[in-house]
Structure 1
Amino acid sequence: MVEIGKYINANGINTHYHEAGQGEPLLLIHGSGPGASAWANWRLAFPALSEQFHLYAPDVVGFGTTERREGQDYSIDVWVNHMIDFIEAIGEKKVSIIGNSFGGAIALHLVYRRPDLVNRVVLMGSVGNQSTLSAGLDAVWGYTPSFDNMKNLIKIFSYDQSNAANDNLVEMRYQASIQEGFQEAFSSMFPAPRQRHLDAMALTDEQLKSIEKSVLLIHGREDEVIPLEETSWEIARLIPNAELHVFPHCGHWVQIEKTEEFIAQVIGFLKRTKAVNAV
């Protein structure tokens, strides 16, 4: 996977995405941290997952190098519609989805609104139910660009604090956050007070109970951004065909801190549930 991928027109939005592999289509939706993009989110998992699946990893509108229209409003409806348009643009009738954090909320809304487009869903450190804004998420959405601020965010994201001591990683994420147009779009998405933005991403309990697809929730036990108990634990309780795997000694960056274990969980779940659904 390289930082520059392909472009496709998704209902008028010139959308940047990465594609690799063959087989069952798998859509990867990234999170909402400063400087977030498909490449930043999925670069470590992409090679191994592409050996098993046909991967599509787009930059959601407002992030990465997907087109930013002047005066663009951002909301859960805008982001969900963009992903629906992207699925239709690539010509796939159905996809399975991995959604990370904010991307998990998009995945939940998508499978609720358009179950015809979805096979199975993996949610990683996901929001999407009624929950309370954590101090960690408030700090992420309130980020203003500086090397030190990015270093502090990585401390919040990671259980392994050596990530925050890795100046190369901090510099990479900081530089990503100050590319042209990135911070301007990011700062317009989640202005204070920020609980309202989390509320807007939430489905009701009844809506979650109505989702019939197989869902795997993955969460780091020490996640300070999206605390386990209020989110994945509750979502897994509500969705009828949901299961939950919790990684100990892991923060919000499961795909970075537990890369191999995360990949094994995803492949095992998708292969197993495909076999079950085919019976």
Structure 2
Amino acid sequence: MSEAEVVGQVSVPAVEKRYQSKFISVDGMRTHYLEAGEGETIVLLHSGEFGGCAEISWEYLIPKLSKSYRVVAPDWLGFGKTAKIHDFDGKRARMISHMARFLETMAIERAHFVANSMGATYLLQIAAELPCRFPVDKLVAIGGGGFVPANAERQRLLDYDGTEESMARVLEAIFEDPVWYRDRAYVQRRHALSIEPGAWEAVAAARFRSPVEKNQRSEFGNADLTPYQNISRPTLLIAGEQDRLRMPGFAKELVTKIRGAEALTIPDCGHCANIEKADVVAEAILAFLGRSQA
């Protein structure tokens, strides 16, 4: 993509920054989180692309949700301002264990959970465990869960080379509206986050392959074996109709596997509806959380 294609005449929406940035030590690991509001707790779990972090994923939703709830949005281990640690024995297991300990350390004994992409996939997998390690009341999964195809759009994310031009290609794969990859300032901001000390390495480490290991399995394109039938908490699945990182209609298929689950498909929207269609998503989340369950 040329510089002319990256630079646009429009800008992404302005951010109403209504949250505090805080740190806590979790088993000796520096852990960063955002916090705002009062009331019942909502925990927000961000996505896992290069430069992914709580602020980028949730900066548009926090001001809307924190009017009625206490919002806590941590950076996963290896992301954002949390310690850049990658466990080569088990990345996913270490990240989830760290997040569970974060919730314990924060004394969060019951909460609603909202998650996007990687965070949503992990959240659904955790909710399907017996017993569930997170204190989930209700959960909202945005652009996560189900089969994850190893397609050309996914390859754009994997091929990120640390340049602004490459970041624009990543954002083009994630979003439907061109403003998100043509706004030069936004591209530069996402790029800067992706090259902070340790940020690129922590994400890229998951793609490393040993030259002596013969049976290496990709993270993507594998059968989804999550026992969704075990999920007993009220669940809302949100998908962008033009999400090119998932199979078309994945949320409608997934909702049939979770007892009592609901699905919302948002038109003219890509993989991160929490950013691209924040108003629609906030309205749906607040309505879902506000309903009593039979």
Q: TM-score if structure 1 supplies the norm length?
A: 0.89
Deviating more after overlay: 253-262 vs 166-175: 253-262
Displacement of 1:200 in angstroms is: 7.7
SS of alignment partner, residue 246 of structure 1: strand
Displacement of 1:63 in angstroms is: 0.4
Unaligned runs of 5+ in 1: none
Question: Which of the numbers 138, 142, 148 marks the counterpart of 1:120?
Answer: 138
Report percent identity of matched pairs.
26
| Matched-pair contact (CA < 8 Å) for 1:219–1:228 | no
State the match for 1:97 in structure 2.
113
Displacement of 1:67 in angstroms is: 1.2
Displacement of 1:156 in angstroms is: 1.4
Query: Does structure 1 residue 181 correspond to structure 2 residue 203?
Result: no
Question: Which of the numbers 76, 79, 99 marks the counterpart of 1:63?
Answer: 79
Query: Does structure 1 residue 46 correspond to structure 2 residue 62?
Result: yes
| Matched-pair contact (CA < 8 Å) for 2:148–2:245 | no
Change beyond 3 A, Cα 1:100–1:201: farther
Displacement of 1:175 in angstroms is: 0.9
Partners of 1:172 and 1:81 in 2: how far apart?
Answer: 30
Partners of 1:202 and 1:249 in 2: how far apart?
Answer: 27
Question: Which of the numbers 228, 244, 254 marks the counterpart of 1:235?
Answer: 254
Structure showing the higher helix proportion among its residues: 1
Structure number with larger C-alpha Rg: 2
Question: Which of the numbers 231, 240, 253 marks the counterpart of 1:220?
Answer: 240
| Matched-pair contact (CA < 8 Å) for 2:18–2:62 | no
Partners of 1:191 and 1:226 in 2: how far apart?
Answer: 23
Displacement of 1:195 in angstroms is: 6.5
State the match for 2:271 in structure 1.
252
Change beyond 3 A, Cα 1:3–1:93: closer
Change beyond 3 A, Cα 1:72–1:15: farther
State the match for 1:190 in structure 2.
207
Partners of 1:269 and 1:21 in 2: how far apart?
Answer: 19
Unaligned runs of 5+ in 2: 1-16, 210-214
| Matched-pair contact (CA < 8 Å) for 1:222–1:249 | yes
Change beyond 3 A, Cα 1:102–1:200: farther
Change beyond 3 A, Cα 1:199–1:7: farther
Deviating more after overlay: 81-90 vs 189-198: 189-198
Where do residues 28-177 of structure 1 align in structure 2 (5 Å cutoff)? 28-69=44-85, 75-113=91-129, 114-115=131-132, 117-127=135-145, 129-177=146-194
Partners of 1:269 and 1:63 in 2: how far apart?
Answer: 29
| Matched-pair contact (CA < 8 Å) for 2:75–2:82 | yes
Partners of 1:240 and 1:190 in 2: how far apart?
Answer: 35
Partners of 2:75 and 2:223 in 1: how far apart?
Answer: 18
**Number of residue pairs matched by the alignment:** 271
Displacement of 1:174 in angstroms is: 0.8
The one-letter code of the counterpart of 1:209 is Q
Q: TM-score if structure 2 supplies the norm length?
A: 0.85
Partners of 2:204 and 2:77 in 1: how far apart?
Answer: 14
State the match for 1:24 in structure 2.
40
